[in-house]
Amino acid sequence: MNIIAAVDSNWAIGYQNSLLVRIPSDQKMFREMTEGKVIVVGRKTLETFPQKQPLKNRVNIILSRDKKYCVKGAAVVHSIRELRRELEKYDDKDVYVAGGASVYEQLLPYCDTAYITKIDYAYQADAYFPKLDTMPDWELTADSEEQTYFDLEYYFRKYERKGTVTTIPAVKK
């Protein structure tokens, strides 16, 4: 599986349930990479999408602890094991974990590639992505030239897991 995020210089991803900044070329890259694919997000992340609706032209899978939660146009799962059952329908290469913080934390062990937009600025934040630069099993394998959006500098980076990816536990039948 893949994981995709925009992070600041401290690996922050959000503040008060909102993105830190919206960079058009980052949003375009996200759209191009995920259209026609599967995205896995938490309920809070879904609620930051336009009209709090699933993204178009993607299979949307929502991970929520709330057993009563449902949303039109998306599959809702309530555990990692339920998520595994749902993901069995798709090729791992087509799955993108897209937030928020708790979903990133829970699913990082099952991902082998991370697409990170690294913003060279520290924002006020209350949600963070795991710091891949400090994790020995992840390595930076691609880095773009410096990009700019007004006075912000940022980079598109690709990290790959060095070792074996953990598999999501099977669902007991």
33 residue type, one letter: M
pTM: 0.93
Model pLDDT, residue 164: 74
Is residue 130 a part of any domain in this protein?
A: yes
Position 165 scores a pLDDT of 72
Structure confidence by residue, pLDDT tens digits, 41-86: 999 999 999 999 999 999 999 999 999 999 999 999 999 999 999 9
Percent of the chain at pLDDT above 90? Answer: 92
Calculate the alpha carbon distances from 103 to 107, 116, 133, 151, 159 in Å: 6, 16, 19, 31, 18
- CATH number, domain of 109, equals 3.40.430.10
Range 84-93 contact pairs with CB under 8 angstroms and sequence separation of 24 or more: 84/168, 84/169, 84/170, 84/171, 85/171, 86/61, 87/1, 87/38, 87/40, 87/61, 87/168, 90/38, 90/59, 92/1, 93/2
In a domain, 169, yes or no: no
pLDDT score at 173:
44
Whether 139 is in a domain gets the answer yes
Q: Is residue 42 part of a domain?
A: yes
The count of structural domains within the chain is 1
With respect to residue 152, please indicate whether it lies within any of the assigned structural domains: yes
- Give me the domain span that covers residue 71: 2-161
pLDDT value for 169: 65
Name the stretches of the chain with pLDDT < 70.
169-173
In a domain, 173, yes or no: no
129 belongs to a structural domain: yes
